[in-house]
Amino acid sequence: KEVKLWGGRFEENVTEIVEKFTESISFDKALYKHDIMGSRAHASMLAHQGLISVEDRDSILQGLDEIEGRIEAGKFVWRSDREDVHMNIEAALTDLIGEPAKKLHTARSRNDQVSTDFRLWCRDAVDEILKKIKRLQVALVTLALKNEGLIVPGYTHLQRAQPVLLEHLLLAYVEQLDRDAGRLTDCRARLNYCPLGACALAGTGLPIDRFMTSDALGFSSPLRNSIDAVSDRDFVLEFLSANTIAAIHLSRLGEEWVLWASEEFGFLTPNDSVSTGSSIMPQKKNPDPMELVRGKSGRVVGDLVTLLVLCKGLPQAYNRDLQEDKEPVFDSVKTIIGMLEVCSEFAQNVIFNKEKIENSLPAGHLDATTVADYLVKKGVPFRTGHDIVGRSVALCVSKGCQLQDLTLDELRGISPVFSEDVYDYLGVENSVKKFCSYGSTGSECVSSQLDFWTTQLEIN
Ligand code: ARG
């Protein structure tokens, strides 16, 4: 059995059960690229500071290239007796180049190393997620453009409320995704500080240059406090919080589209290419991808909660518990990327059923609030107008008709303020046309929102 890199003071090796329980190589090998990147920067800095020779640096750099190549070719053997990605690579480097490799860990601990690797990994993951968010925004705006002018019922309490343009509704998701992207961008800026050189927790007495490694790795600057640098995982908490909020937005989209795909709504039909069938009921066509978007949001929430609970009881500085931070982050990232991709795919493969939607619009008195606004324009206090329209709706309910079917006499029977021009306000088309406040569903407002997003997202 090989002696551990830290084996000097030990007389016995760990038992197999302990080795299996404590290893992290089975999952943290995903950090290999960032680990090697960090080692390259560290070795170059050590040589620059005269802590290792230029020859040693060159042989370390060559060795790291060789190891990276082997990993990428699938020829590298990951060993669980070498615990984690850091020791696997360092030990393999020693196997490969001998003595110079033993100098690489000068003024470095796995504690600052792992936090550096993980920040670099998260930075790349954020960039990847941002791309996928933008792609979904593009898909939603494209879908909006494809359905220009289509009026749908807007809901509150899942009860019919007011008529809105479908474009307006789809753009609501685009706005939400924009804030998700903003949160990720904020988090990226806040995580982009370099722990390297904090060593175990106290820093070092050796003349290193932390600014040099920080620059080489594209960080904004070294973290100010070495204890903080190795101890905190707030950057992953923030990252997973941002992911979680995005996942909740996607889950709501999933729920809405699942509902709309039902026979009861029938507003939307997914193409076969994004639907699945039933093993027993031959007629079935289910919107599974969007159900799973809703379902998988639960994992993303769970990953965040795992990390919150992981961190809550930890005294300063590094604790081995922190090794448990990787898998929830990997899972959260993989899941959110999958969710974003499948939402884009679904958005590109869904048909809104114009006829079915239009046939459904007469129900629910969607124009009632517009009529209350009409009365305000006639000088009626809003609360009084609300009451007048409420009584008009009650009359419709008793007669089984819509507001626009009431005669002027019937309306004037409720309030003498009504005159012929009220019919310009009745019906969903008229109603939608009246909206003109900033951000509202009127077609001019919506088309300026659409213009904004087509420019912003560089569509066409
Ligand atoms: N595998 C460890 C982790 O992921 C690396 C740091 C271990 N440090 C230590 N002193 N045991 O956190």
Give the pLDDT confidence of 164-223 residue by residue, as tens digits: 999 999 999 999 999 999 999 999 999 999 999 999 999 999 999 999 999 999 999 999
Residue 5 scores a pLDDT above 90: no
**Ligand 1 site, residue 110, Cβ cutoff 6 A:** yes
CB 153 within 8 A of CB 160: yes
User: DSSP label at 12?
Assistant: S
Q: Which among 81, 84, 113 is the best mutation to test ligand 1's pocket, defined by most ligand atoms within 8 Å of the CB?
A: 84
Three-state DSSP class for residue 4: coil
Residue 66 scores a pLDDT above 80: yes
What is the tens place of the pLDDT at every residue in 286-318? 999 999 999 999 999 999 999 999 999 999 999
CB 322 within 8 A of CB 314: yes
Span 61-67, mean pLDDT?
A: 98
Residue 2 scores a pLDDT above 90: no
According to the model, what pLDDT value does residue 311 have? Answer: 97
CA dist 21 and 176 (Å) reads 41
According to the model, what pLDDT value does residue 433 have? Answer: 95
According to the model, what pLDDT value does residue 272 have? Answer: 93
CA dist 336 and 6 (Å) reads 38
Query: Rounded to whole angstroms, what are the CA distances from 185 to 36, 123, 208, 242?
Result: 25, 10, 31, 10
Span 230-254, mean pLDDT?
A: 98
**Ligand 1 site, residue 24, Cβ cutoff 6 A:** yes
Greater model confidence, 24 or 3: 24
Q: Which phi and psi angles does 28 have, rounded to 5°?
A: -80, 0
Span 15-44, mean pLDDT?
A: 97
What ipTM was estimated for this complex? 0.97
Provide the mean pLDDT of the chain. 97
Q: Which phi and psi angles does 57 have, rounded to 5°?
A: -60, -45
- All structural domains of the chain: 7-106 (1.10.275.10), 111-356 (1.20.200.10), 360-456 (1.10.40.30)
What is the tens place of the pLDDT at every residue in 86-120? 999 999 999 999 999 999 999 999 999 999 999 99
pTM over 0.90: yes
According to the model, what pLDDT value does residue 130 have? Answer: 98
CA dist 31 and 63 (Å) reads 18
317: preceding bond cis by omega (within 30 degrees): yes
* C-alpha dihedral sign at 227, 230, 235, 237: negative
Residue among 244, 253, 312 nearest 287 (CA): 253
Region of 190 on the Ramachandran plot (φ > 0 left; ψ -120 to 50 alpha; else beta): alpha
Residue 8 pLDDT class (50, 70, 90 cuts): confident
Query: Rounded to whole angstroms, what are the CA distances from 295 to 5, 272, 333?
Result: 44, 21, 15
Query: Which residues are part of the catalytic machinery?
Result: 157, 278
**Ligand 1 site, residue 114, Cβ cutoff 6 A:** yes
